[in-house]
Chain A
Amino acid sequence: MELLQPSSLDDPIPSNSLLLSGGTEVVPLLRDGLLDADVLVDVRGIVPRGIDGTRIGAGTTLAELEVDSAIPDALREACRLAASPQLRNMGSLAGNLLQSTRCWYWRLDFPCRLHGGDTCHARAGEHREHAIFGNGFCASAHPSDVAAALIALGATMRTTKRELAVADLYRLPTDDDRSLTTLEPGELILELEVPQPERSTYLKAMERRRWSFPIVGVAAARTGDERTIVLAGVAPTPWVLDSPEALADATPLPGTAYKVEIAQALVRRVLQALA
């Protein structure tokens, strides 16, 4: 395996290569044989890093974001409550957005739908950590705290090819297209624009006090009367809740019904916090 460390966006990136920044996700997936590549490209030399007002370099680490008081509360909390200090010191903002599901069937390479198979093992199997929304085809739960926070804040991103809302980065997998993001091959996230709301917050239920993906995470932001609530850990993608009442539309599996109850409590609490 070859490692490239380009210093300019103009440097050619071979098509059979895998991009990595902090490596906290790509390296374990390589080790487990879930990713494969001839060439690894360390993008830290070409992806901006740092905070400039509302603009955040995609290579900024979670650790850098969680200590910056200018960062909106929802994003700062989402970073602080993610992973462990070691992982946050390495993991980048864009890398966090692009992490794969924690579904154990997917991680253990069961021939599930996300791996191109024709069944979702979690639906009939062990699924206590899985989805309560959008789970008909694939019951995996999106693990990113940060993604929920950014979508709630109405963040946008600039890539090597376009500008788009963070919300538009994600898509539910279908029979025809199993991918969970709209990113094209070779497309690189460079920078995010994160508006400053009047108020924002992030609450997270975990299986232990630290170093746990969200059972349910709730990000919320308010500017004037405009209010956005986004959930983490409840659907194959971050899940925008159109209204607090929309929780009634959840389609939990037998083993994920408890997540609805937790989501209800946390949504109530974020609404109080935004008031």
Chain B
Amino acid sequence: MARLIRTEKEVEGRFEEVWLVVEEDALEQWPAGAREIVGKPAQRVTGPMRALGEARYTADLRLPGMLQAAVLRSPHAHARVKKISLERALAAPGVRAAVGPGDVSVLTDEPGHQGQAVAAVAADTIGQARAAVALIDVEWDVRKPLLDPDEAAEKGQLVGEASRYERGDVDRALAQADVVVEAEYRTQTVLHSSFETHQSVCEWRGDSLDVYISTQFIFGVRDEVAGKLGLPPDKVRVVCEYMGGGFGSKNGAGDYTFIAIELAKRTGRPVRCALTRREENLASGNRNATIQRLTVGAKTDGTLLALTGEFVNATGWDGWAAPTDGPMRLLYDCENVRTVLYPAKLNTPPMKAFRAPGFVEGTFGLECLLDELAAKLDMDSLELRRLNYANSTDDRPYSSKNLMECYRRAEQHWGRRDQVRARSDGPWKRGVGLASQIWYGGGGPPSYAWVRLGSDGRATVITAMQDIGTGTATAMTQIAAEELGLPIDRVDFVLGDSARGPYASVSAGSSTTPSMGPAVRAAATDAARQVLEIAAQRYDQEGRVLSLKGGNVVSSDGGSWPLEEVVGLLEDAQILGKGARGPNPTGMQVLTFGVQVAEVAVDVETGEVRVERVAAIHDVGRVINPLGASSQVEGGIIQGIGHTLSEDRLLDPASGLTLNPTFDTYKLPTIADVPEIVTELLDIPDEHLTNLGSKGLGEPPIVPTAAAIANAIRDATGADVRSLPISREEMLRALREARERERKKHGAPTAV
């Protein structure tokens, strides 16, 4: 039965109170452990299609009569359009329409960052469109950009309110502390670098609109487009069958979609608007830089007395305050915590959610601070974390938390320290570091799925969700196959079309599996129940003795009938199962946990850092597909290594223009930078969370990587790296500082 509830909804660490219609989740969880299909490794169901080039991405789409759009983006970080003329562009060969400020809400004549959309052209070919954009005449009034986040915070130029949090009495606790460590950490701006750039193809069909888009949220795009255009939502169809990465940057419709919609309207033709790589690296979002001024106070035995932090997010021209202070508030049992977070509004490209936004940056600061404390107390890093283990940081219990078990499993990796350090050789110093992970990932309602079972004995799962490349389509197929007693290859999964399937939630915040999985299971169970009812009548059995297994209806007394024989009775009719995601447990915090242990080698003469091994132990509830899960962990760690060592979006300090908008200068890690990665998932179902007990895994693996590497560097060299990326320059600076410190401690050497 449907029930209306008032509940707190969390996506990417952002909370809001919403009314939700939820359906009861009547199914019992499966017992812990692997089942026939769920919990066993499964290859991606879309793998062959992707490998053979048969998967159709938005980038592959070519509709009949389709025009190509190109966008004039601000070449200045802060400017005003004094005069603009589209005349020459409109007269250029192949041009069908052009729009400027005022024509579409996303086009502006007062750009606040480089790359903000100002005008656009639709032409027969992309070459013609780009050539025409070059003919748009603009007279600019260029203004001085504000680029310094501290200056913006001081002036109160923020994208939202500064947020403050306090529990206990930090000042009193710090005064009582035996040891106080203060440090300033900085993280840089990094880019999502999705392989498929942001893009959409839009086509009007009468008063209805089709939007083909590379997106993480089909229904979010539908609502945003319908809302902005004043259309009934059902007049907007959104399609995304395959997509080439999003990492948080594709949760909305984006300027390109609204540009394509308007140009399609003016020309009566489908219009494609796709960002080039340079546009992508300017205007599609980023993980904002942060400054974190942190203090920890503790007793000599390591008990945390106080944690406090001032966080400045270099949010950019637009965006929201990613919770950089989150780990400090949530990770440890510390009575006195105070944080303030300023989301600085700057003339820089806006941030967008990026794989655990805020927590990646905040974990780097907090977990490095904890290790600096451990070093000062001469205490074991793992022991310090166990000592301050949180059983709750507010009144609410955790739905499940097995971080202590993660720590226990980390011991064997942490225990390699002596052996790793002993492999130090000449200038190469080796060490081991660890860091804890905390993040959300519980998903939530509403989410729906249907399962259709035809007379051929094949099942089709239908839901309008999207698989952003994480392999969730495979996990969903496994869940349905498990419940229907069918091999995976007899279950098809249809997704990616708001006109074909029921509502599905956003693929962000590590939520697809925990949001959609329970709905798919419920739908499959509903279909299975109907099959068994028919079988009971056909074979004159009692329903309760029947079940579905290996493609057969089996009876507890040994009878077995092929599924096709039962569903064959339907002829062209079909069984339709329906399922909904039930509510989250009331009054509980649903969080994911973990720990990573990194081994590094540092060349102390040249500042080169090599990550040699990362062990990742995460607690994300039941694991549906261990193969897909380890692939997520590997991807998160590799992205984390890029964040830690080489990626850095650079700005010219005078003009605020991006200096490295291409992949030759913006340095993603290559395969040569990838270490040995050991993945261990606890696979303990969360008994309070849905009929699956599964949490999400998309984001957790990137959260602790930077801190684990930085802490391993300290273990290897004694140097405190405090700024990301840990470039040669930062590494050599930290080494120099460490040498100075040693010199002061031991007095000046008498001879060199």
Residues of A within 8 A of B (CB): 84, 102, 104-105, 107-108, 121, 124-126, 128, 205, 207-212, 215, 255, 258, 261-262, 265-266, 268
Contacts and interface: CB of A to CB of B under 8 A. Distances in A.
Interface in B595-642: 603, 605-608, 610
A265 B604 CA distance: 10
Interface of B: 427, 603, 605-608, 610, 645-646, 650-654, 657, 659-660, 664-665, 667, 669-670, 672-673, 727-729, 732-733
Residue in A107, A128, A209 whose Cβ sees the most chain B Cβ within 10 Å? A209
B659 A210 contact: no
Contacts of B606: 205, 261-262, 265-266
B152 to A, nearest CB: 20
Nearest to A125: B652
A258 B651 contact: no
Q: Of B606, B607, B732, which is in contact with the most chain A CB atoms at under 10 Å from its CB? A: B606
Nearest to B605: A265
B659 A105 contact: yes
Given A210-B673, A211-B664, A258-B733, 13 more contacts: A104-B665, A125-B652, A126-B650, A126-B651, A205-B728, A207-B646, A207-B667, A209-B673, A210-B672, A258-B728, A261-B607, A262-B607, A265-B603
B665 A261 contact: no
Contact of B728 (A108, A121, A262): A262
Contacts of B650: 104, 126
27 contacts: A84-B670, A102-B665, A108-B657, A126-B652, A126-B659, A128-B729, A205-B728, A207-B728, A208-B645, A208-B646, A208-B670, A208-B672, A208-B673, A209-B610, A209-B673, A210-B670, A210-B673, A211-B664, A212-B667, A255-B729, A258-B729, A258-B732, A258-B733, A261-B606, A262-B607, A265-B605, A268-B605
Given A207-B646, A215-B728, A121 B665 contact: no
Given A258-B607, A262-B607, A128 B665 contact: no
B133 to A, nearest CB: 13
A126 B727 CA distance: 15
Nearest to B645: A208
Contacts of B653: 125-126
A208 B667 contact: yes
A265 B659 contact: no
Contacts of A126: 650-653, 659
Contacts of A108: 657, 659
B652 A211 contact: no
A265 B646 CA distance: 21
Contacts of A128: 727, 729
Q: Which 9 A/B pairs are nearest by Cβ-Cβ distance?
A: A265-B605, A209-B672, A104-B659, A258-B729, A210-B672, A208-B646, A262-B606, A265-B606, A210-B670
A84 B673 CA distance: 14
A207 B727 contact: yes
Contacts of B673: 208-210
Nearest to B657: A108
Contacts of A104: 650, 659-660, 665
Contacts of A102: 664-665
A262 B608 CA distance: 10
A207 B667 CA distance: 8
Nearest to B650: A126
A262 B427 CA distance: 12
Contact of A121 (B607, B645, B652): B652
Contacts of B667: 207-208, 212
A210 B669 CA distance: 9
Contacts of A255: 729
A47 B556 CA distance: 81
Contacts of A261: 605-607, 732
Contacts of A209: 610, 670, 672-673
A105 B645 CA distance: 23
A255 B669 CA distance: 23
A125 B727 CA distance: 18
A215 B608 CA distance: 11
From A84, A128, A268, residue with most partner B Cβ within 10 Å: A128
